[in-house]
């Protein structure tokens, strides 16, 4: 077993060496860098030696794995699992002592670890990428957001009966995602409001300093109401899809910055995913569905249209709009033989 692990390590090392040497030679050929004659010869020699070792170690591994293959594979998996457990068990200690990142980034990384579900883990480099982005975003006080998320979770759990949890599959996914999506909606709404307040303040200052005519004050009108049938009939009718797309488009126009628009696109996708999942479960998920809607209404004022006249009126509007649309059109670059399809067919043909 030790021989297999050692061979895998040697294989990985030489694959890395070969890749590095090949990249240097390719960049030299492309004119991106200029290698001296000695450096070029050295890179070619390193590439050749490393490539030969890669082939050699692969052949040895293949021969070993054919002998009592299942036993070797089982032992290998145990060793990998043990290493992985040891790696993540000491992750917080490594983060605390690292000198590569600033204290605020390390604190963000440690906080993210505590927030992740038990079965979700990120390796150090990925974790720091997320932590750095979290610090760069300069969100409102993170402690306040964490407290708010805990509050939303408690309120959500209080609205759900234990029987509902027993009847619904994917309960852990739903329990985990719903409070987070509500929090993301809340952050987006506040971010739009704060940005608008800043713009209005700048316009007022500009008027007072330069005596310019004040533009009409910008206001955030809030999120429009949606309708349940859009979700229920999604993927089954053009009108449901079109109505939901228009609703998304209206909110997108209320987002001012590119970051807000990107955030709204992600929030919308997650919201539709959860609403569709709950809708598909029918009456089993009614209490879950109601708890989700109740908290969205409370924290973000995102509400479903309940008035029958308004629902009917909106249906007529969507009907008229879709009648004018040509759903037979394709995009200008339409081609059924897509680049990925070509890649996939070529890949399968070579295997």
Looking at the fold, whether 84 and 63 belong to one and the same domain comes out as: yes
User: Could you give the angle at the alpha carbon of 113 between the alpha carbons of 107 and 115, nearest 5°?
Assistant: 105
Residue 46 lies in a domain: yes
Looking at the fold, whether 201 and 316 belong to one and the same domain comes out as: yes
DSSP code string of 247-302: HHHHHHHH--SHHHHHHHHHHHHHHHHHHHHHHHTGGGGHHHHHHHHHHHHHHH--
Domain count, the chain: 3
Question: Which segments of the chain have a pLDDT < 50?
Answer: 140
Residue 211 lies in a domain: yes
**pLDDT tens-digit map of 14-49:** 888 888 888 888 888 888 888 787 877 888 888 888
Looking at the fold, whether 203 and 318 belong to one and the same domain comes out as: yes
Looking at the fold, whether 82 and 100 belong to one and the same domain comes out as: no
Residue 340 lies in a domain: no
Looking at the fold, whether 69 and 102 belong to one and the same domain comes out as: no
Residue 351 lies in a domain: no
Residue 272 lies in a domain: yes
* pLDDT computed for residue 140 by the predictor: 46
What the block records as the tokens of 186 is 């809340």
DSSP code string of 61-92: HHHHHHTTHHHHHHHHHHHHHHHHHHHHHTHH
Residue 23 lies in a domain: yes
* pLDDT computed for residue 36 by the predictor: 80
For residues 243 and 250, what is the distance between their CA atoms, to the nearest angstrom?
Answer: 11
Looking at the fold, whether 130 and 73 belong to one and the same domain comes out as: no
* pLDDT computed for residue 13 by the predictor: 85
User: Could you give the angle at the alpha carbon of 199 between the alpha carbons of 194 and 201, nearest 5°?
Assistant: 95
- pTM of the complete model: 0.53
* pLDDT computed for residue 66 by the predictor: 63
Looking at the fold, whether 115 and 199 belong to one and the same domain comes out as: no
Per the structure, the complete domain to which residue 115 belongs is given by 91-138
Looking at the fold, whether 206 and 228 belong to one and the same domain comes out as: yes
Looking at the fold, whether 100 and 239 belong to one and the same domain comes out as: no
HSE, side-chain direction, 13 A CA sphere, residue 215 = 11
* pLDDT computed for residue 52 by the predictor: 87
Residue 346 lies in a domain: no
| Domain stops at, among 89, 108, 123 | 89
What the block records as the tokens of 188 is 């987006």
Residue 69 lies in a domain: yes
**pLDDT tens-digit map of 214-235:** 556 777 888 999 989 888 888 8
């Amino acid at each position: 077993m030790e021989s297999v692990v050692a061979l895998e390590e040697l294989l990985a090392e030489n694959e890395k060496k070969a890749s590095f040497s090949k990249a240097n030679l390719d960049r030299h050929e492309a004119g991106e860098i200029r290698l001296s004659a000695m450096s070029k010869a050295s890179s070619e020699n390193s590439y050749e030696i490393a490539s030969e070792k890669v082939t050699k170690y692969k052949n040895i591994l293949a021969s070993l794995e054919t002998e009592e293959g299942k036993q070797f594979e089982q032992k290998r998996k145990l060793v990998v699992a043990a290493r992985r457990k040891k790696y993540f068990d000491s992750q917080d200690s490594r983060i605390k002592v690292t000198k590569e990142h600033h204290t605020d980034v390390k604190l963000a990384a440690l906080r993210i670890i505590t927030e992740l579900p038990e079965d979700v883990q990120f390796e150090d480099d990925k974790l720091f990428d997320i932590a750095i982005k979290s610090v760069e975003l300069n969100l409102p006080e993170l402690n306040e957001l964490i407290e708010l998320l805990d509050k939303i979770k408690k309120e959500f759990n209080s609205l759900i009966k234990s029987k509902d949890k027993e009847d619904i599959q994917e309960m852990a996914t739903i329990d985990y995602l719903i409070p987070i999506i509500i929090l993301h909606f809340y952050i987006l709404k506040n971010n739009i409001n704060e940005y608008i307040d800043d713009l209005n303040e700048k316009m007022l200052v500009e008027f007072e300093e330069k005596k310019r005519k004040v533009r009409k004050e910008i206001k955030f009108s809030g999120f429009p109401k949606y309708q349940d049938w859009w979700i229920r009939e999604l993927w089954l009718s053009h009108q449901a899809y079109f109505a939901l797309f228009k609703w998304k488009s209206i909110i997108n126009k209320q987002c001012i910055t590119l970051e807000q628009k990107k955030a709204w696109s992600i929030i919308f996708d997650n919201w539709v995913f959860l609403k569709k999942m709950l809708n598909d479960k029918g009456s089993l998920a009614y209490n879950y569905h109601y708890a989700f809607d109740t908290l969205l209404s409370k924290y973000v004022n995102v509400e479903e249209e309940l008035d029958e006249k308004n629902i009917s009126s909106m249906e007529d509007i969507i009907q008229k709009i879709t009648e004018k649309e040509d759903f037979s059109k394709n995009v200008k670059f339409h081609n059924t033989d897509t680049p990925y399809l070509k890649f996939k067919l070529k890949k399968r043909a070579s295997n």
